Amino acid sequence: MIQNYPISKTIATLADLKQRFNLSPTDNDLFFQEWQQDLPQLTAQEQENLDQIQRRFLRHRERSPLPEGVINQLLIGPLLTLAGLYDEPFYVTTETTVEVEVEDKDEILRGRIDTLVIAQQLWVLLVESKSTIAFSVALPQLMTYMMANPNPERPVYGMIGSGDEFLFVKMLTEGVPQYDLSNLFYLLLPRRNQLYDVLRILKQIAKIMGANIGVMSDGN
């Protein structure tokens, strides 16, 4: 008999992921180059916008840790806007319900993705905004959502944003699933706005996935 379990209470560690899905980090150095090679340059206007976003964030953050809703308003939404992920060919959905079947255990894991960017039927980017749990817990939960990718032959990207920190994930679920991570980007550095790096990676992902959509359309 198939049992249903919430992802948030079932997957707490990377070991949980490996046990259920045989998901492991890749040993291929070329697997996830998108976060560090051939990144697009930012315009002066984009840099000015990011400096303003950082100032707003730091002003609010000085008072107290920020709840997820405020993180979305101050950081996630503006970053997706600047990256063009609200525009054609992309669409944004929130609180998307996902189910992931664990076949050899007769389990179905259920959860909700904070923000999902799609293009046609292709998952582009999953975004999780976290303020109350550690990245060590948020990361395996995000990757469980990514395992529900309906196009396993194509890579899917994820981003965790706590306000203070950002991290990117790339996963390929076809065959033996594998993943890789970016560096951690820290926003509480007064003289180094790492939102520049975050936006460049988002723009790179948008460019790559937009090109994939074009290839799919040409194939049809």
Pairing of strands 156-161, 107-119: unpaired
- Please tell me the least confidently modeled range out of 59-68, 90-99, 128-137: 128-137
For the cut 80, the answer to whether the pLDDT of residue 113 exceeds it is yes
Residue 54's pLDDT band, with cuts at 50, 70 and 90, is very high
Strongest mean pLDDT among 5-9, 32-36, 60-64, 98-102 = 32-36
Judge whether 129 and 115 are in contact, CB under 8 Å.
yes
pLDDT digits (tens, 9 = 90+) for 21-37: 999 999 999 999 999 99
For the cut 80, the answer to whether the pLDDT of residue 105 exceeds it is no
Percent of the chain residues topping a pLDDT of 90 = 65
Distance, in Å, from the CA atom of 84 to the CA atom of 90, rounded to the nearest integer, reads 8
Q: Rounded to two decimals, what is the model's pTM?
A: 0.92
CA 168 to chain centroid: 6
pLDDT for the residue 133:
64
Exposed, middle or buried by CB within 10 Å (0-12, 13-18, 19+), for 154?
Answer: middle
pLDDT mean over 65-72 = 88
Residue 217's pLDDT band, with cuts at 50, 70 and 90, is very low
pLDDT digits (tens, 9 = 90+) for 157-206: 999 998 789 999 999 999 899 999 999 999 888 788 999 999 999 999 99
Q: Please compute Rg for the chain using Cα positions.
A: 17
Distance, in Å, from the CA atom of 193 to the CA atom of 105, rounded to the nearest integer, reads 45
- Between helix 14-21 and helix 135-146 the angle, nearest 10°, is 20
pLDDT for the residue 214:
59
Three-state SS string over 3-65 comes to EEEEHHHHCCCHHHHHHHHCCEECCCCCCCCCCCCCCCCCCHHHHHHHHHHHHHHHHHHCCCC
